[in-house]
Amino acid sequence: MKKIVFVGAGSVVFTQGLLADLVAFPELAGMRIALHDIDPERLQVAEAVAHRIAGQSATVTAHLDRREALDGADFVINMVQVGGYDATVTDFEIPARYGLRQTIADTIGAGGVFRALRTFPLLDALAADMNALCPDALLLNYTNPMAMNVWYLSGKVRNVVGLCHSVYWTMRGLADLVSVPYEEISYVAAGVNHQAWVLRFERDGEDLYPRLDVADPQLRRRVRIDMYRRLGYYPTETSEHSAEYVPWLMHHDSELDRLRIPVGEYLRVSEENLAEYKRTRDLVRHGGELDIAGTDEYAPQIIHSVVTGTPRVVYGNVVNDGLISNLPQGCVVEVPCVADATGVRPTAIGALPPQCAALNRTYVSVNELTVRAALEGDPRHVRHALMIDPNTAATLTPDAIWSLADDLTRAHGDLLPEPLRAR
């Protein structure tokens, strides 16, 4: 039966949800699950949780050695967060000293750029191991910054798709807002990860967009509704994410208040994740009952489709090979994909609305410069990426951006690619 490898399995709660989704498919019974993490305690907890969930449905093994885990893999799920919580704190605290406000800081912006740079060495090592031990495996990447990571991996591994749940949960939320069951809606979204756009939103041929034109003043105090009202298309990521990908919000106190933008939100989320891990660890140690539920994530659905030939549509982050005509060729875009026995095949969308493509192109430019910084070993491109980044450029002077980059480079130290480290 197929071998599925979890890289970064110490992300125990996420691992738990993916495993629950996998074992819900009876056709996958007998699968081999290999868990890898570099943290022995987290790996031990993940293994104990996995045995509880899998029961007789799968064989579970745990590996501190990544190559041992990858040997003979059919699917590899990457969910590593290089540097963990401490690096995330650094990504918030140092920019905050310069007056740069961030909400999530994992996609673009100062936090996203440096999260990518400290992830790229791990991706190099993972790609090398996969090429040696499982060259035909499908790499399903969940690690952020999604678009930068998939772009960096393109050409380094044979098969890679970036997966994010933002489109799915956005559409479930929109269905609730217009009081239509999710199962009855049809939709198309496309753009870039965490900044894609709902291009079509219908039920039985009826355009549901007009139902969003609500008068509720509290709902209008959300970034996504504000962007929809001004741009005409609803963005597929939360208001917290969306706020820091544009130049006109984060440095205005009045806009933070009007749209209730939570500065530093991801630090709170990260602390909750740490607390949830500790709760799970303690329950495992003392034989307590775990609250195990599926998550409707795409990776298990793709694996089921590839193994059984069952076709389904998922949203994936893939190289733009003519998929979105008014975004740069070779960048990474998020589009609907068909998963079946042949793998994952993206769908060509054509041109985005020009105002949406214009915002996406700024995002893509930050991606390109960050990837080039690592591929070319050029630290100037790190500074260029921050100068182009909408929130950073709208808040800081060029001299401050240079100093911020220097401080973050020193703080992250050896986690960064060697040519980009402080001299």
Which DSSP category does 2 fall into?
A: -
What lies within 8 Å, CB to CB, of 32 at 6+ separation is 1, 2, 3, 4, 58, 59, 61
* CA pair distance 181, 174, nearest whole angstrom: 10
CA dihedral of residues 81, 82, 86, 90 (deg, nearest 10) = -100
337 annotated as belonging to a binding site for a ligand: no
What lies within 8 Å, CB to CB, of 146 at 6+ separation is 107, 162, 164, 193, 194, 317, 332
**Token code pair at residue 70:** 């990858």
Nearest to 78 by CA among 125, 132, 34, 139: 139
194 annotated as belonging to a binding site for a ligand: yes
Q: How many CA atoms lie within 13 Å of 341's alpha carbon, on the beta-carbon side?
A: 3
* CA pair distance 288, 265, nearest whole angstrom: 31
H/E run at residue 60: strand 58-63
381 is catalytic: no
Catalytic residue among 51, 165, 251, 252: 165
- Helix ranges restricted to H, 145-206: 146-153, 166-177
Give residue 64's identity as a one-letter amino acid code.
Answer: L
164 annotated as belonging to a binding site for a ligand: yes
Q: Classify residue 205 as exposed, middle or buried by CB count within 10 Å of its CB (0-12, 13-18, 19+).
A: exposed
* CA pair distance 122, 272, nearest whole angstrom: 25
Q: Classify residue 147 as exposed, middle or buried by CB count within 10 Å of its CB (0-12, 13-18, 19+).
A: buried
- What three-state secondary structure class fits 203? strand
Q: Count of CB atoms within 10 A of residue 168's CB?
A: 17
**Token code pair at residue 60:** 């579970």
For the four alpha carbons of 268, 273, 274 and 275, in that order, the dihedral sign comes to: positive
Q: Count of CB atoms within 10 A of residue 183's CB?
A: 6
Binding site members = 144, 164, 194
Binding site members for Mn(2+) = 164, 194
Active site (catalytic) residues: 165
Binding site members for substrate = 144
